[in-house]
Amino acid sequence: SALAALRRRAPLLEIGGGNGLWAQLLRDQGVDVRCFDSGAGDASYGSHVEQGSALMGMRCACVEDGGPEQAALHRDHTLVLMWPDYQGEGSFGLQCLEKYEGDCLILA
């Protein structure tokens, strides 16, 4: 499963984690994961940003405020980016990679 694959690369750093669903599922399994999101409709995500729909739901308590700058602070974590640039538009993923000095990236 996807969660098992992520679990094997812990500790994890998810940036742009949205409402934190994946991070919360992983935490519920005892995985060390930090999850950050700016909480704002950041234009660097691209023009197709989903602005808080019923599908997105409520933000999990595990989500901390932050963006690409967090990548520089957690080089000992595997960087996890899930659909960082909606429909291939934007530069959010690139901004995270430019700041990340760790050894492992998971891109979903």
SS (H, E, C) the chain: CHHHHHHCCCCEEEECCCCCHHHHHHHHCCCCEEEEECCCCCHHHCCCCCCCCCCCCCCCCCEEECCHHHHHHCCCCEEEECCCCHHHCCCHHHHHHHHCCCCCEEEC
Mean pLDDT of the residues in the chain? 87
Whether residue 46 is predicted with pLDDT greater than 70 in this model: the reply is no
**Residues of the chain with pLDDT > 90: what percent?**
69
Domain that holds residue 78: 2-107
Q: For the chain, how many structural domains are there in total? A: 1
Q: pLDDT tens for residues 1-37?
A: 899 999 999 999 999 999 999 999 999 999 999 999 9
